[in-house]
Amino acid sequence: MSAAPEQVVADEVAAALAAGRPVVALESTIITHGLPRPRNLAVARDLEATVRSGGAVPATIAVLDGRVHVGLTDAELARLAAAEDVAKASVRDLPVLLARGADGATTVAATAHLARRAGVRVFATGGLGGVHRGAAATFDESADLPALARTPIVVVCAGVKSILDGAATLERLETLGVPLLGFRTRRLPGFTQVDGGQDLTWRVEDAAEVAAVRRRADDLGVTAAVVVARPVDADAALDPVLHDRVLAEALAAAEAGGVTGKDVTPFLLDAMQRGTGGASLEANVAAVTGNTALAAEVAVALAAG
């Protein structure tokens, strides 16, 4: 184990990074705030296995006892998955958690930041955070967006979470200068939805093309993330009519309940899961799994130089 005072890098991850072999970072908020127990642990393990079968080393990232962990042991993964009250940690929460010796499950923003800091160049997640519906009044925009703007990594996602305002999020990604590539599509995917409703400027066909874009971004000093939006497979997507009905109910419940801040996204995703009888959960898992397989391909292509 390679250890700095504030960070523990798993042996396997440290060895791969030192040798320039492919590594894929995975987030931990999905484990603690996205998926129900005990499914969360099974999915976390499956995602790591997916990275391995793609020829890369998985590095699930979390804060445990006030230290950043880049790559978790199975016991650490199980501890996180079983925990009841782990903090959802975006970048701004990290210093507090470290100062207090606390645990934290990292969001897209925090995972990207910590992955890049450790030298990991590729990160797989489900749907990006972004601009919430009604943000013109609430100012609720995910810290994922500014983090993507300043973190030179590749993020493979299924587009923007469908609970959000996809059009507004697309505008913000443009303003923030974040390269955004549709993976074999010219439409912005909506997480559990194949088509979130907006057109994309750029379409790529394979992992090699993504790696080439990242390399050219580095050459040019473009320090934003390269975001790859891969649509969930059509046969695994959530039925759009069911999606729209349940989302309307979930948004109304959030409003009625006065849900704000970092609780909004977990609240809405949980309401979607319950309201769809678990169908949105299956679509979520399918999306993350497909993204993780693609991220391994991208990491392999980047490591090939």
Question: Which positions lie near ligand PSU, rule CB under 6 A?
Answer: 27, 29-30, 33-34, 107-109, 126, 129, 142-144, 262, 265-266, 269, 284
Q: Which is nearer to Mn ion, 48 or 140 (CB)?
A: 140
Tell me how far, at minimum, the Cβ of 210 lies from ligand PSU, in Å: 20
Strand extents, DSSP E, the chain: 2-4, 7-9, 23-26, 57-64, 67-70, 87-89, 104-106, 122-124, 154-157, 180-183, 187-190, 193-199, 202-204, 226-229
What tokens appear for 279 in the block? 């169908």
Tell me how far, at minimum, the Cβ of 199 lies from ligand PSU, in Å: 24
Q: Which residues of 137-167 are buried (b: 16+ CB within 10 A; e: fewer)?
A: eeebbbbbbebbbbbbbbbbbbbbbbbbbbe
Exactly one of 140, 144, 165, 297 binds Mn ion (CB under 5 A); which one?
A: 140
Q: Which is nearer to ligand PSU, 145 or 301 (CB)?
A: 145
By the 8 A CB rule, do 199 and 189 touch?
no
For Mn ion, which stretch binds (CB under 5 A), given 66-74, 139-147, 174-182, 270-278?
Answer: 139-147
Tell me how far, at minimum, the Cβ of 90 lies from Mn ion, in Å: 9
Q: Distance from first CA to last CA of the chain, Å, rounded?
A: 26
Q: Which does 126 bind (CB under 5 to 8 A by kind): Mn ion, ligand PSU, none?
A: ligand PSU
Active site annotation includes 27 = yes
Q: Which of 27, 48, 141, 297 is catalytic?
A: 27
For residue 108, the Cα-to-chain-centroid distance in whole angstroms is 4
Interatomic CA distance for residues 284 and 269, integer angstroms: 10
Q: Which is nearer to Mn ion, 5 or 261 (CB)?
A: 261
Q: Which is nearer to ligand PSU, 53 or 260 (CB)?
A: 260
Q: Which helix (H) or strand (E) element contains residue 56?
A: none
Q: Which does 48 bind (CB under 5 to 8 A by kind): Mn ion, ligand PSU, none?
A: none
Dihedral sign for Cα atoms in the order 62, 106, 174, 196: positive
Closest CB to ligand PSU: residue number: 34
Residue 26: name the closest of 290, 299, 292, 305 by CA.
292
> What count of other Cβ atoms lies within 10 Å of the Cβ of residue 29?
27
Q: Which of 48, 88, 141, 161 is catalytic?
A: 161
Tell me how far, at minimum, the Cβ of 269 lies from ligand PSU, in Å: 5
Tell me how far, at minimum, the Cβ of 129 lies from ligand PSU, in Å: 3
Interface with Mn ion (CB under 5 A): 140
The catalytic residues are 27, 161
